[in-house]
Amino acid sequence: MSAGGSGEAKSSYPPQTTIGLGVVGGLLGIYAGGLLAPSIPELSFIGGIGAICAAIWGADAVRRVASYGLGTGVPSIGLLALGMGIVAALFGLSIGGIAGPIVAFIVACVIGVVIGALANRVIGMGIPVMEQTMTEIAGSGTLLILGLSVAIAGTFDYNVVVESVVKTGFIALIYIAGGMALLHPFNANLGADESQDRTLTCAFEKGAVSMVVAGIASAAGVGIGPAIVTVIIGTVLWYIGFTKYYALVKRDAYAVVGTGLLPSAEELQ
Amino acid sequence: MIDIMANLIWIIVVVIGGALISQSVHFIPVGGAPAAMAQATGIGTGTVQLAAGAGLTGLVSAGYMMSVTDNLPLILASAAVGAMIMIAATMIVGSWVYAYGVGCVPASAKVKYDPLTKYRQDLYVSQGTEGHGLPTVCFVSGVIGAALGGIGGALVYYALMEVGMSVVSTNPNLVAVVTIFSIGIFFVNSVIPSYNIGGTIEGFHDPKFKKWPKAVISSLVASLLCAIVAAIAIGQLSGGL
């Protein structure tokens, strides 16, 4: 259970599990997608899978910090994550070369820990997990952006990413779709009956939606064929995520009842 | 690799821009979710959305002006006016909705008399609410905040453009990359102060306004990090293109 302002969130999966999933899955997806797609463009979708792993991790970090109550709504922290992430991602790719995604990830963690420390020490938010979660949120935001960028551009080469993701404006799409995958799950599920598996399933489903969006955008980057592959895989993952999510909603709800159709004018007489 | 020292002046300008954005949020009457239900004074949405709305409009106005001239005062003025129009339009339409849709008078719960009009406020605050609508003082405060936010956004954009121009004079990707960095820095600097004010503020007459130095100091540090990172990344644009 976890509601905003209720203190530490109870978790069935410990933070280490989601951190491991996010870091390993995210980086693997980015590297596998970015290194394989130049020769086999259809494999660019792996970047999207990496983004989904990062989204699950990020949503879990948002869940842990936002359950203390941020005072300003959950969405703010998602937008902050992507703000830090976009700066770190482009920086990492620009100087890192093959190590780009790792450099981006480390820079994001540094920016995250500094902002977390500022929020706690200077602004005085007094959330015990602030530094750690802010680091995680910045890191997962960066991996999310990089994963979706790989899905669109088919590589993590700085100049190609700038050409086919930033210049085309798809970066704004990534910003909002990716931010939604981070901030929406806890925002939609918070309350007295919040449970971690339901929130994280929602993150999985939102990550798949952002993968579909990136797939559509990738038609202009890697080409129509790979775009169709990404969209189809994303849609399948979304369907799996959504049915699972709906099952968990039914599990956690007291009752799910149909309201029927609106009564007609005669019936209201 | 770009020379950090040669671009130090522009990095400082980015940091100043970030601090201005941070300060601007304190002026904007953000009501958050309670205001959306007309239970708190201010505009019924979050800080980030409002500051980003105003700041990004300022950025667009600045970008447009930069395509015509490179006169910094003109660019800043264009950004400030763009952002002010944006937030003023939001607030006036919001006021219509509160007055004619919800049916409540604009009233502040934080002060007994509006500091500008001297109108009595507390009599008009509905029971169980923390004010509603946008009294004159909030409106004026919001417009000031938008001007600061617009100028801050434009400074960040202008400075990063100057960094880019020093490495590549004609690169069609430069504008896109600089814009996305400006937006990233903008979001970071609009979320930090929103934590400082705890999500809602009425404007410069609100007691929370006095907390602004904390947010500005935090933004100075965060912007410095982002500025250095952004300057280096923009410097890399010269390679390969």
Partner residue facing A123 (CB), from B185, B187, B196: B196
pLDDT of residue A3: 54
pLDDT of residue A259: 84
Instruction: Please give the Cα distance from A219 to B51 (Å, whole number).
Output: 33
Which pLDDT band holds residue A200 (cuts at 50, 70, 90)?
Answer: very high
A33 in Cβ contact with A147 (< 8 Å): yes
Question: Residue A123 and residue B192: Cβ atoms within 8 Å?
Answer: yes
pLDDT of residue A2: 53
Q: How far is B177 from chain A (nearest CA, A)?
A: 6
**Long-range CB pairs of B94-102, under 8 A, 24+ apart, other chains included:** B94/B43, B94/B44, B94/B133, B94/B134, B95/B133, B95/B134, B95/B139, B98/B38, B98/B132, B98/B133, B98/B134, B99/B133, B102/B38, B102/B132
Stretch A242-258: mean pLDDT: 90
Which pLDDT band holds residue B139 (cuts at 50, 70, 90)?
Answer: very high
CA-based nearest residue to B58, from B134, B158, B141: B158
A17 touches chain B (CB under 8 A): no
Count CB neighbours of B34 within 10 A: 18
Q: Tens digit of pLDDT for each residue in B91-124?
A: 999 999 999 998 889 998 888 888 888 888 888 8
Residue scoring higher pLDDT (B213 or B49) = B213
pLDDT of residue A1: 43
Stretch B196-209: mean pLDDT: 85
pLDDT of residue A5: 56
Chosen from B175, B187, B211, B225 to mutate, greatest number of chain A CBs within 10 A? B187
pLDDT of residue B170: 65
Q: Tens digit of pLDDT for each residue in A61-114?
A: 999 888 887 777 788 888 888 888 999 999 998 887 888 899 999 999 999 999
- Which residue in chain A has the smallest CA separation from B241? A159
Chain A partners of B183 at a C-beta cutoff of 8 Å?
A: 83, 86, 175
Stretch A151-157: mean pLDDT: 88
A36 touches chain B (CB under 8 A): no
Chain B partners of A158 at a C-beta cutoff of 8 Å?
A: 236, 240
Partner residue facing B184 (CB), from A72, A87, A94: A87
Report whether pLDDT(A6) > 80: no
Chosen from A65, A82, A86, A160 to mutate, greatest number of chain B CBs within 10 A? A86
Q: Which residue reads 């086919």 in tokens? A: A164
Q: Tens digit of pLDDT for each residue in B70-95?
A: 888 999 999 999 999 999 999 999 99
Write the DSSP symbol of residue B3. -
Amino acid at site A215: G
Stretch A146-165: mean pLDDT: 89
Q: What is the ipTM of this complex?
A: 0.84
Q: Tens digit of pLDDT for each residue in B221-240?
A: 999 989 988 888 888 776 54
Chosen from A65, A90, A131 to mutate, greatest number of chain B CBs within 10 A? A90
A109 touches chain B (CB under 8 A): no
Chosen from B48, B60, B200, B224 to mutate, greatest number of chain A CBs within 10 A? B48
pLDDT of residue B12: 93
Sorted by where each begins, the domain ranges of chain B are 5-238
Q: How far is A253 from chain B (nearest CA, A)?
A: 25
Give the best-scoring range by mean pLDDT among A22-26, A191-195, B60-64, B183-187: A22-26
Instruction: Please give the Cα distance from B18 to B215 (Å, whole number).
Output: 11
Residue A189 tokens read as: 């599920």
CA-based nearest residue to A136, from A21, A269, A254, A239: A21
Report whether pLDDT(B159) > 80: yes
Partner residue facing B46 (CB), from A73, A162, A167: A73
Residue B156 tokens read as: 């960040």
Q: How far is A80 from chain B (nearest CA, A)?
A: 5
Residue B149 tokens read as: 């936010």
Question: Residue A169 and residue B217: Cβ atoms within 8 Å?
Answer: no
Q: How does the average pLDDT of chain A come out, rounded?
A: 88
Chain A partners of B167 at a C-beta cutoff of 8 Å?
A: none
Write a three-state SS string for B193-228. HHHHCCCCECCCCCHHHHHHHHHHHHHHHHHHHHHH
SS3 state at A199: helix
Which pLDDT band holds residue B241 (cuts at 50, 70, 90)?
Answer: very low
Report whether pLDDT(B62) > 90: no
Question: Residue A119 and residue B185: Cβ atoms within 8 Å?
Answer: no
Report whether pLDDT(A242) > 90: yes
Stretch A133-145: mean pLDDT: 93
Start-to-end CA distance of chain A, whole Å, equals: 44
Amino acid at site A53: C
A262 touches chain B (CB under 8 A): no
